[in-house]
């Protein structure tokens, strides 16, 4: 039996995308102990993942915080891991490799860098979709990929019957009209117009709800929808997963909850402007489809409504 380390720091959408790769790593190392290094927002969530033995917290303090760096590296070295799967593929994790396994190849440290195809530059390789890059990385590292291309995030769900009873949620359409302030180009501006169209069409058949994050609660007041909270606080990730999974339909900007929706099997659509493509972020699924336009400001509420399928 060996100890295996997976690294996945975030973000929320990336966590949902990576869960198929994590499952494949676990099933290919079914006689080994599987540890995952992650950050505080996802530490408790990953403790629920059935494919992991344990979770290690990385506070991601400055690299110049030598005491913290020493303690983290010592903790990892004590595990005597035989292989690392770097699913974060960041400059930070590349720095960790230089400390832990400085001269190793993909047999010890599997990353996009150590498994880069010999005939491609990193810039060329990065044009592939996220899940295709994971698939190549793992298969080059002798992992059979059954789940990497079809991530299943349902392990993240928990019981939200109390919340659903409080808000009398049965059939509901869930909106995610928010985005990070520095990514305003991802934000579609016509959610209230869409809500009006939906209500005129379906009357009271479906509740229209939003589930804001901690920094979005005030912004949610500008949306003409029922705001779902837990004791006046934003839902945690597991609660949000369940709310998404039980919804009739999801409409979202290209944000973390959209990627959660895709990999929870939810029915819905996500709206893309020119910031990236749905292909590159691997969001299109059987039930979850993208609308791709060059300018989100020119995408009308009527056009989005045409794509809503509640059958």
Look up the CATH architecture of domain 3-151: 3-Layer(aba) Sandwich (3.40)
Binned at pLDDT 50, 70 and 90, residue 182 comes out as confident
Provide the residue ranges of all domains of the chain, joining segments of one domain with +. 3-151, 160-306
CATH superfamily of 160-306: Glycogen Phosphorylase B; (3.40.50.2000)
* Mean pLDDT computed over every residue of the chain: 96
Confidence at residue 122, expressed as pLDDT on a 0 to 100 scale: 87
Q: What is the pLDDT of residues 120-146, one digit of tens each?
A: 888 899 899 999 999 999 999 999 999
Confidence at residue 143, expressed as pLDDT on a 0 to 100 scale: 98
Confidence at residue 1, expressed as pLDDT on a 0 to 100 scale: 86
Burial of 206 (0-12, 13-18, 19+ CB in 10 A): buried
Confidence at residue 199, expressed as pLDDT on a 0 to 100 scale: 96
Q: What is the pLDDT of residues 84-118, one digit of tens each?
A: 999 999 999 999 999 999 999 999 999 999 999 98
Give Cα 152 distance to the centre of its chain.
11
* Interval 294-309 mean pLDDT: 96
Angle among Cα 249, 250, 253 to the nearest 5 degrees reads 160
Q: Are 299 and 291 in contact (CB under 8 A)?
A: yes
Confidence at residue 183, expressed as pLDDT on a 0 to 100 scale: 78
79: left (phi over 0), alpha (psi -120 to 50) or beta: alpha
Q: Are 292 and 272 in contact (CB under 8 A)?
A: yes
Of 91, 121, 97, the closest CA to residue 109 belongs to 97
Q: Supply φ then ψ for residue 55, to 5 degrees.
A: -125, 140
Of 301, 230, 257, the closest CA to residue 11 belongs to 257
pTM of the predicted structure, to 2 decimals:
0.94
- Asked if the domains at 3-151 and 160-306 fall in one CATH topology, the answer is yes
Q: What is the pLDDT of residues 143-156, one digit of tens each?
A: 999 999 999 999 99
């Amino acid at each position: 039996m060996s100890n295996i380390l997976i690294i996945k720091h975030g973000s929320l959408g990336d966590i949902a995308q990576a869960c198929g790769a994590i499952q494949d790593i676990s099933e290919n190392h079914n006689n080994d102990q599987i540890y995952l290094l992650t950050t505080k927002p996802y530490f408790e969530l990953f403790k629920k993942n059935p494919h992991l033995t344990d979770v290690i917290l990385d506070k991601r303090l400055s690299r110049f915080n030598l005491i913290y760096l020493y303690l983290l590296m010592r903790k990892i070295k004590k595990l005597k891991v035989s292989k690392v799967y770097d699913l974060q593929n960041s400059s930070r994790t590349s720095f960790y490799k230089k400390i832990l396994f400085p001269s190793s190849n993909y047999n010890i440290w599997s990353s996009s860098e150590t498994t880069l195809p010999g005939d491609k530059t990193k810039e060329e390789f990065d044009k592939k979709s996220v899940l295709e890059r994971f698939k190549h990385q793992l298969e080059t590292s002798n992992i059979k990929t059954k789940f990497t291309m079809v991530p299943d995030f349902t392990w993240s769900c928990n019981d939200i019957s109390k919340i659903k009873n409080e808000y009398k949620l049965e059939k509901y359409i869930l909106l995610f009209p928010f985005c990070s302030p520095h990514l305003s180009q991802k934000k579609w501006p016509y959610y209230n117009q869409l809500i009006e169209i939906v209500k005129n069409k379906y009357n009271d058949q479906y509740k229209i709800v939003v589930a804001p994050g901690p920094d979005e609660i005030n912004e949610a007041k500008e949306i003409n929808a029922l705001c779902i909270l837990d004791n006046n606080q934003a839902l945690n990730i597991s609660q949000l997963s369940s709310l998404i999974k039980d919804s009739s339909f999801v409409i979202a900007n290209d944000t973390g909850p959209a990627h959660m929706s895709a990999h929870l099997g939810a029915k819905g659509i996500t709206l893309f402007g020119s910031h990236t493509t749905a292909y590159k972020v691997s969001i299109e699924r059987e039930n979850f489809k993208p609308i791709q336009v060059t300018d989100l400001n020119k995408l009308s509420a009527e056009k989005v409504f045409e794509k809503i399928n509640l059958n």
